[in-house]
A and B are shown apart, each in its own frame.
Chain A
Amino acid sequence: MTALLRSRYAVGIGFLVAAVLLFAVAPALLTTFRLGLLGKYLCYAMVAVGIGLAWGRGGMLTLGQGVFFGIGAYLMAMHLKLADAGPGGVPDFMALISSDGVPGWWEPFRSGAVTIVAILVLPTLLATLLGLATFRRRVRGAYFAILSQALAAAFAILLIGNPTATGGSTGLNNFKGFFGFSLRDPANRQMLYFIAAGVLLLMVFVAWRLMVSRFGELLVACRDAEERVRFLGYDPATIKTVAFAVAGMMAGIGGALFVPIVGIISPNDVGVVPSIGLLIGVAIGGRTTLAGPVLGAIAVAWAETTLSEQFPSGWTYAQGLLFMLVVAFLPGGLASLVSWRRRRSDTADPTAGADPEPAPAEVLAPAEGRTT
């Protein structure tokens, strides 16, 4: 009971501290430029929350979250380009390389409402279909990882191959406004950061509720013994698909907010390498925990920027080394250091936890309706 209270407190305090840091401390200390960078990291962290759910809790090693991130991002970018061009107008890059005008499938995204709905629905829908198709066929482990990675590669190739519609390898950039607000105005840029911070906190909250729900327990059960779950009368494919769809949705939202904050989206941001980059943050932070993926993703993105400023080509090596060290020596990520310390202090407390291996006779003694 004390442990339960303590953990409940811990989550509440964690949210409070995060809110103070994100909404008060960071804007006060950071320049507009640095705050924008932090906003970008928060977008990565949104993807990381989803990966934590799908991989950490559900055991689905997804190397292709860039696809969902990219769909959300490109949808938002298309809308911003169309809005910049004005009613009936043609976005600047299209006018430069072709005279065919705006492709028909771009047209619906002139509407902001349609775009927002599409950002929420399309990545989720794609993840659902993909989940049902693969998990029903019991594709899992490394096979699922390779499949998702191939999808990310195919998605990037598709984007590069259609320069008139997607901007090709340059991607979409040079956005002027965001739903009527000028992106040149620092106040609006700060507002975007606040939106990202709020959305991220909301996502972490959703992930937390899912983790402590019965669904969350079932998801862990699927991760550890999928066959057993099936023999209890559940279809694990459905359970995993739900988690994967939520992860896809979170990645899509992260992508959509990435576009106005960073000001560019290109195949380089959504392909295989960035998809793995997102995963590394989660692994380093601790994939099975609530805060681990978020903190890991932010820390890795921050380290990438800082190191790249000092040693332009050094980051790739540092990233690889970090990943190897964590996988080899700290499979639970940095978060396992915290829980390891907590366990140590628990063993000093004689009231915490039950004797793991009591004598059989002791166990078999009829329990007199004792419910602690």
Chain B
Amino acid sequence: MNKDYLELSGLTVSFDGFVAVDGVDLTVLQGDLRFLIGPNGAGKTTLIDAVSGLVSATGRAEFAGEDLLGRKVHQIARRGVGRTFQTATVFEELSVLQNLDIAAGAGRSPWTLLRKRSGVPEAVTEAMETVGLADLRDTKAGILAHGQKQWLEIGMLLVQDARLLMLDEPVAGMSAEEKDETGRLLRRICVDRTVVVVEHDMDFMRSFAKSVTVLHAGKVLSEGTVAEVQADPKVQEVYLGPGQHSAEEAAIVLGEGV
């Protein structure tokens, strides 16, 4: 089996006594497209913050057999871990091409850095086409539409050669067509990568998730396919409150197929 998988064991993050992520065990294999869902404050974003090195955590977070905890953000990034943020963060003053070129270059020698770019790296050309921004290569990232910025960020993860991609609400604020396009893009790129998506958009999750983990109060509440998770009474309780719920009620919040 391929070693490029994410394995969290007993991952715990606490801020001044408040435990945001509480002993999470989680395994995401290569080729998976795992959605992390859960109510506000469930610890979804904190979890990927911990894996990417933004906040310190205890327990273990292994990717490709190496523990990531305790390393610096840029060192984790160099081990093939890439992430995006809830608000698209691209370099607004630079063009699409420049954004992607920077993402491709973390391993460049000082000598290469001090010279002008002589050609477009192949990975950059490929990524521009994968995310559909080839026609906008010389456009400043700052004037891209919201959805295009998100795709540019995903493109940056691709050229960065991230083998573990963690996306934080990638479709927030997108139109229906943009969401579909993003979902198809994620399906394409997850084939040879490990992809984790934090998302509130249930329709989007149902359409594109290969597997789902539900977090609640920092703990894993349920895990499985979309259908399994939707049918889980514990999940229904968290989303709808305690007690019995009709299929109609569940369908409203968790979507069809319950």
Interface residues of A, Cβ cutoff 8 Å to B: 209-210, 212-215, 217-218, 220-221, 224-225, 227-235, 353-354, 356-358, 360-361, 363-367, 369-372
Number of A-B contacts (CB under 8 A): 117
- Check B113 for interface membership: any CB of A closer than 8 A: yes
- List chain A residues, Cβ under 8 A from B120: 371
A228's nearest neighbour on chain B, judged by CB, is B89
Q: Does B92 contact A (CB under 8 A)?
A: yes
Interface pair B74/A213, CB less than 8 Å apart:
no
**Contact check: which of B73, B90, B132 meets A364 at CB < 8 Å?**
B132
Q: Mark B86-114, 1 if CB is under 8 A from A, else 0.
A: 00011111100011011101111000111
Of B73, B92, B101, the contact of A231 (CB 8 Å cutoff) = B73
Least CB distance from A309 to B in Å reads: 41
Residues in chain A near residue B112, CB distance under 8 A: 214
A234 vs B175: C-alpha distance when bound (angstroms): 33
Cα A366 to Cα B181 with chains together (Å): 12
Set of chain B residues within 8 Å of A214, measured between Cβ atoms:
101-102, 105, 108, 112-117
Q: Which residues of A contact B82 (CB under 8 A)?
A: 231-232
What residues of chain A lie closer than 8 Å to B83, measured between beta carbons? Answer: 231
B145 part of interface (Cβ distance < 8 Å): yes
Instruction: Please measure, in the bound complex, the distance between the C-alpha atom of A225 and the C-alpha atom of B106, giving whole angstroms.
Output: 16
**Given A215-B114, A358-B135, A367-B129, 16 extra CB contacts under 8 A:** A213-B113, A214-B108, A214-B114, A217-B94, A217-B98, A221-B99, A224-B93, A225-B89, A225-B91, A228-B89, A232-B77, A232-B156, A233-B74, A356-B139, A367-B135, A372-B137
> Would you list 17 pairs from A and B whose C-beta atoms are within 8 A, ordered by A residue?
A209-B116, A212-B116, A214-B117, A217-B94, A218-B102, A220-B93, A221-B94, A227-B89, A228-B91, A230-B74, A233-B77, A233-B78, A354-B138, A356-B143, A364-B181, A371-B120, A372-B138
Task: Using CB atoms and an 8 Å cutoff, list the residues of chain B in contact with chain A.
Answer: 52, 72-74, 77-78, 82-83, 89-94, 98-99, 101-103, 105-108, 112-117, 120, 125, 128-129, 132-139, 143-145, 147-148, 156, 160, 175, 177-178, 181
Q: Which residue of A lies closest to B91 (CB)?
A: A221
Question: Bound state CA distance, A227 and B83, in angstroms?
Answer: 11
Contact, CB under 8 Å: A363 / B136: yes
Chain A proximity of B10: nearest CB distance (Å):
25
Asked whether A356 lies within 8 Å of B144 as measured between CB atoms, the reply is: yes
CB pair B128 A367 closer than 8 Å: yes
Tell me if B129 and A217 are in contact (CB < 8 A).
no
Give min CB distance, B104 to chain A, whole Å: 9
User: B98 to chain A: which residues have CB within 8 Å?
Assistant: 217
* A231 touching B52 in the complex, CB below 8 Å, given contacts A213-B116, A214-B115: yes
A228 touches which one: B90, B139, B148 (CB < 8 A)?
Answer: B90
Chain A residue nearest to B108 (CB atoms) is A214
Q: How far is the CB of A271 from chain B (nearest CB, A)?
A: 34
Closest to A367 in B: B134
Distance between A6 CB and nearest chain B CB, rounded to angstroms = 14
Residue of A nearest to B80 (CB): A233
CA A366 to CA B134, docked complex, whole Å: 9
How far, in whole Å, are A364 and B94 apart by their CA atoms in the complex? 21
Who on chain B is nearest to A361 by CB? B177
Contact assessment for A233 and B93 in the assembled complex, using a CB-CB cutoff below 8 Å? no
CA distance A335 to B74 in the complex (A): 35
Contacts of B136 in A (CB 8 A): 354, 358, 363
Across the interface, B134 reaches (CB within 8 A) one of A220, A224, A230, A370, namely A370
CB distance from A14 to the nearest CB of B (A): 18
- Whether B145 pairs with A357 at a CB distance below 8 angstroms is yes
Contact A224 B91 (CB under 8 A): yes
CB-based contact A220/B91 at 8 Å: yes
- What CA separation (Å) do A233 and B94 show in the bound complex? 18
Complex CA–CA separation, A215 to B128 (angstroms): 21
Q: Which residue of chain B has its CB nearest to the CB of A223?
A: B93
